[in-house]
Amino acid sequence: MSAPPIRQPIRILGIDPGLRRTGWGVIESCGNRLVFIGCGSVEPDDDLPLASRLLEIHHGLAKVLAEFAPAEAAVEQTFVNKDAGATLKLGQARGIAMLAPALVGIAVSEYAPNLIKKTVVGAGHADKAQIQMMLKILLPKAEPKTADAADALAIAITHAHHRGGALLRLKAVQA
């Protein structure tokens, strides 16, 4: 009879992209156990031109990647806004959020906003207050200072719960 394999913790970076504030959250997942590692946000100066703001987002995420060394990353999928210009700009920030981990060889998964809410709260149309309340239960040591950092932690939690299927889909696309 052999002993069951020892599960290794996996470090996950969740990213909530935005031009004004890109939230990030890092957790470790080992089986069903989640551990808070860190969170924050990258906040480029509003007065900067778009390209410079995108560059600041990249630099900020690169620092997070270097400091916390996650093995996997997850980003929220973009929802289409009524304002096409705002949606396009958000898409550019999201591109940077996906590029930064990819540049250092980290797989990036994407999750729909409703799946994130359903995973963390149990309802696909939960509000930000409900998400923050559940974060206190799931990650008691986490104290995100912004809603974007809280959302990034929720994205990381979602990836921890759905990562097996997400990684299979990534491998299928790469094949």
pLDDT digits (tens, 9 = 90+) for 75-87: 998 766 677 777 7
How large a percentage of the chain has pLDDT more than 70? 89
With 0-12 CB in 10 A as exposed, 13-18 as middle and 19+ as buried, what is 95? middle
Sheet (strand 10-16) strand order: 33-42, 22-30, 10-16, 72-76, 107-111
Q: Is the pLDDT of residue 36 over 90?
A: yes
Identify whether 47 is a catalytic site residue: no
What H or E segment, with its residue span, contains residue 3?
none
Does the active-site annotation cover 45? no
Say how far apart CA 95 and CA 166 lie, in whole Å.
19
Does 16 show up as a binding residue in the annotation? yes
Position 31 pLDDT exceeds 90: no
Q: Is 127 a catalytic residue?
A: no
**CATH number corresponding to 10-169:** 3.30.420.10
For the cut 80, the answer to whether the pLDDT of residue 172 exceeds it is: no
**How much is the pTM?**
0.88
Backbone angles phi, psi at 40, to 5 degrees: 175, -160
pLDDT, position 168? 53
Q: Is pLDDT at 6 greater than 70 in this prediction?
A: no
- Which residue of the set 28, 72, 148, 151 is catalytic? 148
Measured between alpha carbons, how far is 73 from 159 in angstroms, rounded to an integer? 8
Alpha carbon dihedral 38, 43, 44, 45, in 10-degree steps, equals -150
List 28, 72, 76, 151, catalytic entry: 76
Please, what is the average pLDDT of the chain?
Answer: 88
Mean pLDDT computed over 60-67:
98
List CB contacts of 147: < 8 A, sequence separation 6 or more: 23, 128, 132
* 148 labelled ligand-binding: yes
